[in-house]
Amino acid sequence: PVQEALYIVDKDVGKNELVAGGKARTKVRAIEIDDFMVAGPVVAPPPKKLFALAANSFWGSPSASHPLLSSPIYLRIRHLGEFYPVEIEKRGQSLIVTALEGEFEGVAPGQFGVFYGEKDADGRRECLGSGKIKKRCV
């Protein structure tokens, strides 16, 4: 009989185990990202959205009008992957990133997510930064 393909859906570093599951288990609506890194050269002033994310004021309690929280932000999980419109919430030293449309697919801890802004007139998106996926939020 034909068996369903298995995918890595989680890992337990303490036990040195990978958790596999079917395709349905690869989908999740929210992920936790840590080790956030700012994109771009250090000497140049960063884009306003990016500066807002990196600034200490963001790590406090941002208002509803905060640039990062009020501007469209997109997350891409892998090279040539889909751009997911997302909402970002600060929790401790991590970011909780929730897909606004659909669910993230094929996400596992240890992968990186890259944040982008909206498309410009030429159809390109500005890279704002990236972070390591810490865990899936079920």
CA-based nearest residue to 116, from 76, 60, 58, 62: 76
Q: What is the pLDDT of residue 38?
A: 67
Instruction: Say if residue 125's pLDDT is above 60.
Output: yes
> The tokens of 15 are what?
């036990």
User: CA 97, CA 82: separation in Å to the nearest integer?
Assistant: 15
pLDDT class for 45, splitting at 50, 70, 90? very low
Q: Is the pTM of this model over 0.75?
A: no
Q: What is the pLDDT of residue 53?
A: 52
The fraction of the chain above a pLDDT of 90, given in percent, is 20
User: CA 33, CA 29: separation in Å to the nearest integer?
Assistant: 13
Amino acid code (one letter) for 75: L
* CA Rg value for the chain: 16
Burial of 107 (0-12, 13-18, 19+ CB in 10 A): buried
